[in-house]
Structures are given as C-alpha cells and as structure tokens.
Chains A and B, each alone.
Chain A
C-alpha cells in the first residue's frame, strides 16, 4: 500500500483509455500525456497502461508501506527518496517505510508516477482511469482527486525482484516535455469540416502563432491568437475526438484533451496528432504553439514507427 501524505495541485489515478463507451456518452479519459505515462510504466516493467498517478502542476508526498519500484516521468520535477535526491525517468526501489517527495515541476505541467504492477484500483467501464467531470473511476470509483490520507493498494506481486532501468538520454520518442522556448508545432490531421473552412481561414490557422491560455484542463485547452472565421451555420452536433480542433463563434481554437466531451456542436478543422497532444498537455499558460498539416497516411506511419521504437528501444539497465 502507498499512503498519500500531501498533495498540492491536482493528483489523480490514470489508466487505459476507456473503449466502447462513447455511445453511452462516456469519454475515453486516460493520461493527458500518454507518452510520459507509458514510459513510467515501462520503467516499472508494467503494461503500458497500468494504473498510475497524474500530478498536475503540484507536489505529491507519499509513504510506501511495502517494498516496491516506482518511476516518475513527464514534467521535470525534483524527487527525493527519504530526503535524498533521486533522478526522474528511471526505476527507483522503495523499501517499506520509504518516503517520497515529488516537487512542483520546474518545466512542463504534468508528472506521472508509476508503481510496479500498477495501483490496484477497480475498473469502471473497463478502466480505473479517473473522469472528473463524469464522476467515474479513480481511487473511489466516483472520479475523486487524490487527497492526503488516501491509501492506494498495490497488486500482490509487487515484491517480486525486477531490474532497474533508466531512459536512454536524448531518446526523443520517449519524452514529450520540450526543453526549448520555441513554439511547439502541433501537427493536424485535417478532417471533419476542414474542407468547409475558407482558404483564408485555413491559411490564417497555419500561419499564426497561438498562445496557451490559463483556460486549460483535462477536457480542453483554449488558445488565443488570430481569429478563424467560419461562415456557415447550423452544424448538427456530432462525435469528436481527443485532439479535435474546435472553432467556437469567437474564432479562437480549442483543442480537446483526454476528457473531451463525446459530442460537440462547434465546427472542427481536424485533430491534433496524438504525440503532439501529449506535448500540448505539458504546455503552460503563455507557451506558444503553431499548427502544421499532416496527412492521415503520414500520421499513421509515425504512430506505427513510434510503437515499433517503443517495443525495441532498450531501456538501460542500472547496475545494482
């Protein structure tokens, strides 16, 4: 068991995205930054989507009540184990009674904590992942955030001996937290109503730099910049996706994130490529983004190449 001592910001249980639930009005949810979340699990020799914790721009302290292995990835954060600094992006062994303090990130927005075998949290509609707005999943099955005093059960096998790993340095396909202050490029698979926007609207969209506003959460990120016009009217509400770029009447794009609503009535230019949605999940208010079109074929290839790389890149064993 792991016992939460203190939380600032938001911390919540995340796991696999829900599937075959959209026709009931339920969103997929899951980790905001899938890249970082999957890496944390890999470092713990878990399935890529074993239940872990997403920490949104805050700190988290906890005590492990039995021997286990953890890894912290995502937003760059100082981590201490029993008051000794330990690195991110590597496996760390905890003994019964070990205390871990994860500080508020110095870069990026969301840090991920995985534990060997994952947290033992009940699956709701196929996954333990938290959906705050829908009040589903998480530690109490009704979508609550984690708070001090919460006791998170671990699976029975976590004591088993396993190897310690670290991420190879400069392995770009394993991280989504940018070190540069240059605008982040969000590649867009054009679709939905893309062909109904005027050529001027589309050119404006791809030529402009947008600012991430503070109005950003697990449901969506509002951007601010050049207005995108939409002349038509009367779009009938339809299904939307993670990454969908909605253009509301004020012309300021909204990119839908993990807890997107299943059906929406705003026109959409397409969807941001998932690897870039992960990067957007790490952006802070004031960060800059630009959009660039990518064909569905090219996006398909990149997804498959990434999946291949993640299966085949060897995490580096750490000598014990």
Chain B
C-alpha cells in the first residue's frame, strides 16, 4: 500500500482555493495550530536568553554548511570507524535503489520506518512497494496518513488535517487489511486511538528485521546520528531490528558533539512546544550486543548542493524541520499543507522546494508567492532563517526565469509600466491626474460608499475583479497629494479641498 502522490498538483492559488472551501479542514487546522502556537510560546518564554540561543543555533548550522565538504568527509570517516557502512546518493532514485538493494540482500518483504522527512521527500515507500517491499510507517500521524491513502500536510504532525472522528473511521476501515484490526469498541478518544495504534504496530516491531530512519542531526567528529521523537516508535525501529538504514540529508551535519547543545534545547521547544521531547536516541555505528548489528547511512544530496550554491537561499539548509513556521503562518493556517504540493509545506516549503528543485515548473514557481511576507515565520525560526527575504529572492528567481519569454506575462508588462512611471515624478503626476478623473466618474455614477462617506468601487471588471470580489475599493481622490501641495504651496494657503 502507499499513500497518494503530490505529482501533478496544481499551482498554489488553485489548490488553496479548494482547500479554503473545506470547512472541516479549516476547523481542524485552526484548532491544531492555535494549540501548538500557545504551547510553544509558553515554553519559549521560559528561556530568558532565547534570542542568544537562536543565534548560537544558527551559528552552529551556518558554520557546518560553510565547510560542508570537510564535515562530510569527517562524518564518513567517523561512521566507518564506528562500524557503519556509508552510501552516497545524488538523487532520490539512487537513494531509493540503495535502500531497496539492502532490503533485498536481507531477503525481507517489509521494513518498519521511523518518521523521516528525507524518505518522504524521495518517495521511498512507493519505490520500495514497486520492489515488492512493504514500508510500514510507525509514527502515529504517518500511519494515519498511510492507512488513509492520504498525503502529509504538516512536517511535525502529518495528519494535522484529520480530526479524531476521521482517524477512528480510518482505523476501523483499514487496520484489518494490513495487520491487527482495530477493536470493535474503538472510540474516538485520543487515548483509545493511541492504544489501538500501539497494539496494531507491536507485532510489526517485534518481527521486523530491517528498519529505515532518517536523522535529525549527524555529528561529524563522533559519527553520531540523532533521532528526536515522542512515541517510542523511533526507539523500537532503532533498537529491535537487526539492520538499520538511515537516510540522511547532507545538510544534517553539525561539526562536533558539543554542537548538539543549542540544537537539543531549540528543537523541542520550537517543535512540539515541550521543554524536551519524550525520547531522543543517539548512536554511533554498531554497539556489539545492543541494537542493530548492521548499520547503514545513506548521505543524500537531491538538490541540496543546488540550494547550497544560492547565496541568499543557503540559509534554508539550516532548517531543523521543527515546523514552528507552519504553525504561525496565517496562510498555512487557512490553506493547510496539501496546497503547497510537497512534503515540505508552509513558509519553509515555499523556499525549500524552489531551492531544491528550481522554479521551472509552474507549481514550484507559485510557492514563493504563497506568502503575505508578514514575517511571523522569521520571528519564530529557531535557527533564524530569514524566510521573507528568501521568499523575495526566490520571487526574483521566478521573474528572472521568464525574462527571455517571447510573450511577457501581463504582470511583467504592468511592472515595467509602473517602474517607468515611478522613475520620474512627472510621469507619476500625469498618471495620478488620470486616476483622479476615474475617481470623478466613480463618485458620480458609483453606488458604493465607504463608512465615512467616501465613494468606492463595488465591483470592477477585468483584473480589478481580483480585488473587488470581496473588497470595496475607495474611489481615487480628484486631487493627489502632490497636486494639493502645488496648489496650496505646501498647505500654507489651503482653503479647503478643491
């Protein structure tokens, strides 16, 4: 079984329009994002030097990125010394092939999985399914998404768009198809649903021979991988099977063991809104007699070197996937994650996807515009990624990619015209006179009046309809400020409005 696919998703405005009409989704998201925002705010307020901690976290990641080749070589050597086998994958296809080959080598037809953004990004489950290997998601939310043939819509809580009643229905309908069925008396209480997941997955944990994980951090000087989680499914996968394969993006590297300090203080508070998450596992290669005795690490590029080469966008690779930016984003809160068409939704997705993939397709090119640039994301980012600045820079990348078009877009024509008018105040004054005439027409014939008495346009045809579909537009004044200043000598001899 596999979930849906993001392939062929429409551009953001179209997908968002559909999502905005889903009242259940709007309600689920509003409740969930508010809950987690409040939790985060409370535990962040507890840390007196939070801003300094953010600076330290940003510094650790930035330093690692700026000397990434050195750290990757160190990491590889440390891992090998600790008994792990290191593989390198240029792209998704190579990474999936490595995992499939290792699974086949152990003759298994199933693997258990720890929630991992990197394996979602490369479509590992679908690739393994094509090879006859079932990949069981063991994180509760991932399992809900997988059982529901659904798509993830949040980095931390992939099933954030589902409420308890929907989850109960999915469990009742699907658990029996893939293992231990849900009990007949299953209710929609979260504690009961969690118990059903525990019972369902336990048989899979106990028999699994091969596990697949990602890693939150990879420490170069010690060869240590770190997985941060809550439920214990991670510990199950990292501990019980004989073979462990971890797919790790090359940007997960930090230089030294002590660099974990700011990160492990920043991540839980930013992510789940806790002082510390229930479980963090660290391991360095193989420990004789304890845990998996065969350990593989797949170091993944898949566009990361492309992002690394971008002077403005490079900072996006500092991301530790906490999802604080999603939870505060007013756009995400209303559209949900599916509208972004990627496993990386929200503000970070709006910059990460174009940085990893380029902006040549329409869907990806729509993402940098999926933001009002309100800046709430930057404010909460634990590693200080200036998302609004990267969004603007990626918008420029989109515009630049169309500069050679034979037929320019209407927007490009309008922007060029505006730039022409704004480059000389005399041209602007002329344009204002023309709009003042338009205002005169509206005042005479318009039927809409703003509170306070000003005439307005109720519904405009053409491009103006985008505005006036839901918003009245004030009629342009007959006299611009500039014209008033000239007529009254800067207000010195103002005797009322003309």
Do the two chains bind? no
Interface residues of B (CB under 8 A from A): none
Interface residues of A (CB under 8 A from B): none
